[in-house]
Structure 1
């Protein structure tokens, strides 16, 4: 994991290395209920990588879960993302601002993850 301040005002955990094992360990700490989805995604990515002789499915797996960890390790950011997604899903408000903020959260997470 990369060195970053961890504590009551920082992220719950440091950003892990971008490997399946490190991402799985991070998800186990911050969102253990998501482990089955991670394992299923990894299985599918591995199967697709073998079938296509391409690393692209594994790269997509790492990207997806690295962004997830980068977001979820900050509880306030994760809660805000869920609220924004709820606003978009309900369709009762103009989603333009919510979509822009979702995009900004994901871009920040990608940067933190080193993607």
Structure 2
């Protein structure tokens, strides 16, 4: 992952397009590119089969949120920590982690111009 000045995003938030998101992921989280490509193919197939753009729109929204989080190392570390806590903690810890994850996702949705989950 590219480094940044303390508290600064690694890159600006890209437009919510497939090409811009792919480029951003290539820069900040190259290990996620295979998942991005696989999920894009699935969304495109679902859109073609159903003559519906909703799968592609969901794909773009999901990856725009992912990029929003991953381009901010501190936020990405917090998010990962809460995910780990949700998986390995007791019920109380899992509820707290789910709440924190929800807040981060709501913040990311708002920042990229998407309605809250």
The TM-score, its normalising length taken from structure 1, stands at 0.90
- The aligned residue for residue 75 of structure 2 is 77
SS of 1:13's partner is coil
Residue segments in structure 2 that go unaligned for 5+ positions in a row: none
- The aligned residue for residue 11 of structure 2 is 13
Aligned length: 109
The TM-score, its normalising length taken from structure 2, stands at 0.89
For 1:68 and 1:98, the matched residues in 2 are separated by 18
Residue segments in structure 1 that go unaligned for 5+ positions in a row: 1-6
RMSD of aligned residue pairs (Cα, Å): 1.1
Q: Deviations over 1:75-113 (max 9, x none)?
A: 111111111111110133512221111000011111111
- The aligned residue for residue 105 of structure 2 is 106
- The aligned residue for residue 27 of structure 2 is 29
SS of 2:26's partner is helix
- The aligned residue for residue 89 of structure 2 is 91
Q: Deviations over 1:36-66 (max 9, x none)?
A: 1000111110010000000000001001100
Select 2:66's aligned residue among 68, 71, 81. 68
